A and B are shown apart, each in its own frame.
Chain A
Amino acid sequence: DIQLTQSPSFLSASVGDRVTITCRASQDISSYLAWYQQKPGKAPKLLIYAASTLESGVPSRFSGSGSGTEFTLTISSLQPEDFGTYYCQQLNSYFGQGTRLEIK
């Protein structure tokens, strides 16, 4: 089974900061990767699919990159509403363990 490892597990950043979350796959998964944001008590929200395609309605400060085994989610200028937990997922398969993002 392919494992996804996210780093860091916890991140505290200030409004306006550039934030990067990494997801590493144990094997090549091409571009079959999605990123989700989840806030407490809410269902996950799709941000990025196919590694770099921005979901409709998601602010352009979110971007995804990578292929193969290393992927990144970048928030170019952190906003107060971006707090929550972020997950990567291989298409139709396993998730990373999550990255909790706190706004300082």
Chain B
Amino acid sequence: EVQLVESGGGLVKPGGSLRLSCAASGFTFGDVWMTWVRQAPGKGLEWVGRSKSKNDGGTTDYAAPVKDRFTISRDESKNMLYLQMNGLKSDDTAIYYCTTDLQLRQHWGQGTLVTVSS
């Protein structure tokens, strides 16, 4: 069974940093693209960024609002995906989800809440 479990959310002050984690199981982690998605309160779903599999170059891509502040990384020995968030702003307050696709079907974790507030 595919499982994605996010952790690391919490309350952080503007300008602060936070690292989110996503524990993956039930599939071959190294073979898939992994993605972070977020949803701010009362807003739509927003793609944050993705980490491509090694076979597809292993590169990362980011949405414009987070580029140069957020970094996605993965530890394939631990089947873990990370989202390092620096320079946090109030606009980054959201539920953050990690997702992946297996044979074109997207799987989601339950999400972790990040609140940026003084």
In the complex, whether B45 has a CB less than 8 A from a CB of chain A is yes
> CB within 8 Å of B: which of A49-104?
49-50, 53, 55, 85, 87, 89, 91-95, 97-98
Give A31's nearest chain B residue, CB to CB.
B104
Contacts of B111 in A (CB 8 A): 43
The answer to whether the Cβ of A34 comes within 8 Å of any Cβ in the partner chain is yes
How many angstroms between the C-alpha atoms of A91 and B35 in the bound complex? 10
Partner of A89, one of B33, B45, B64: B45
Contact B50 A55 (CB under 8 A): no
- Closest CB-CB distance, A34 to chain B, in whole Å? 6
Q: B-side binding surface: helix, strand, loop or mixed?
A: strand
A92 touches B110 (CB 8 A): no
From known contacts A43-B110, A43-B111, infer whether A95 and B44 are also in contact, taking CB-CB under 8 Å: yes
Interface size range on B against A: 10 to 19
Neighbour of A87 across the interface among B44, B64, B101, B105, CB < 8 A: B44
Judged by DSSP, the binding face of A is loop
Q: Is A8 in the interface zone, CB < 8 Å from B?
A: no
B68 within 8 Å of A (CB atoms): no
- A residues with CB within 8 A of B: 1, 31-32, 34, 36, 38, 43-44, 46, 49-50, 53, 55, 85, 87, 89, 91-95, 97-98
Residues of B within 8 A of A (CB): 33, 35, 37, 44-47, 50, 63-64, 97, 99, 101, 104-106, 108, 110-111
Query: Besides A46-B108, A53-B105, A95-B45, 7 other CB < 8 A contacts?
Result: A43-B111, A44-B45, A44-B108, A91-B104, A92-B35, A94-B63, A95-B46
